[in-house]
């Protein structure tokens, strides 16, 4: 299977609990942030994005929070399900379109 | 992965041989990217394209070349494969620089022996 999960921080949660995955970004000039989900053997999948002029954005079962003061991004997953098990990583981008990706956090959901 | 295909999906080759990976999109997006993904490094940009025949280097471009003769196709070539190029390669596309959400293909697992 996919070896991308090796040596990653791991978050283990019980099914039905809420999950919070954190990300520290590096460039204070970044104006766009994206969360991706990557399941074993698959390509990264877009989850949700947020612009730097916002501090919160909600999607279906997911919420992203942005704290520009401390350059911190978090992804909250409500009522975590076994299908949420994956590696999650954030990406930051600027006006030129290129993204810089974090190394990711492995989410493990216990039934 | 809708609208983005990569071929081959798996390849085993020997050191010193040339290898070409293909990315094909049906979304008519302007921007296309090639990344490699390795444990402990995350996704690293190899090359990208901002239009037909317009390409530029990324973070880890040494040993790789690209070509884009049509909007829908972006080729990545390893001129002479080395064991350090064993990796999973992902293609991504995005619509514009101002909206940099990138959508990824399914990946190609390349093993160089």
For residue A94, the model assigns a pLDDT of 67
A50 Cβ contact list (under 8 Å, min separation 6):
A32, A33, A56, A57, A64, A66, A73
Angle at A46 between CA A42 and CA A49, to 5 degrees: 160
**CA nearest B50 in A: which residue?**
A97
pLDDT higher than 70, residue A2 = no
Does residue B72 come out as left (phi exceeding 0), alpha (psi in the -120 to 50 range) or beta?
A: alpha
For residue B20, give how far its alpha carbon lies from the nearest alpha carbon of chain A (Å): 19
pLDDT higher than 60, residue A6 = no
Name the pLDDT band for A95 (thresholds 50, 70, 90): low
Which residue is it, tokens 């798996």?
B10
**CA nearest A51 in B: which residue?**
B99
- Give, as one character, the DSSP assignment of residue B60: T
- In angstroms, the first-to-last Cα distance of chain B is 29
Name the pLDDT band for B98 (thresholds 50, 70, 90): confident
How many whole angstroms separate alpha carbon B92 and alpha carbon B35?
Answer: 8
Contact B100 A98 (CB under 8 A): yes
Q: Which chain A positions have a beta carbon within 8 Å of B96's beta carbon?
A: 97
Residues of chain A numbered 55-74 and touching chain B (CB < 8 Å): none
Mutate to test the interface with A, among B43, B54, B87 (most CBs of A within 10 A): B43
Q: Is B37 an 8 Å CB contact of chain A?
A: yes
């Amino acid at each position: 299977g996919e070896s991308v999960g090796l040596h990653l921080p791991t978050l283990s949660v019980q099914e039905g609990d809420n999950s919070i995955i954190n990300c520290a970004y590096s460039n204070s000039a970044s104006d766009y942030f994206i969360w991706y989900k990557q399941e074993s053997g698959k390509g990264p999948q877009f989850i949700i994005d947020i612009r730097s002029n916002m501090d919160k954005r909600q999607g279906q079962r997911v919420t992203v929070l942005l704290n520009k003061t401390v350059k911190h991004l978090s992804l909250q997953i409500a009522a975590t399900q076994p299908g949420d098990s994956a590696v999650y990583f954030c990406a930051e981008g600027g006006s030129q379109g290129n993204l810089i990706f974090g190394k990711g956090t492995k989410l493990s959901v216990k039934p | 992965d809708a609208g983005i295909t990569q071929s081959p999906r798996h390849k085993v080759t020997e050191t010193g041989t040339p290898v070409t990976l293909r990315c094909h999109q049906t979304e008519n997006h302007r921007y296309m990217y090639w990344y490699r993904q390795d444990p402990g490094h995350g996704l690293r940009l190899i090359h990208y394209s901002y239009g037909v025949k317009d390409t530029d280097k990324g973070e880890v471009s040494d040993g790789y070349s690209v070509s884009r003769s049509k909007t829908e196709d972006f080729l990545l070539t390893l001129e002479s494969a080395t064991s350090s190029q064993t990796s999973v390669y992902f293609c991504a596309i995005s619509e514009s620089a101002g909206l940099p959400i990138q959508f990824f293909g399914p990946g190609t697992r390349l093993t160089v022996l």
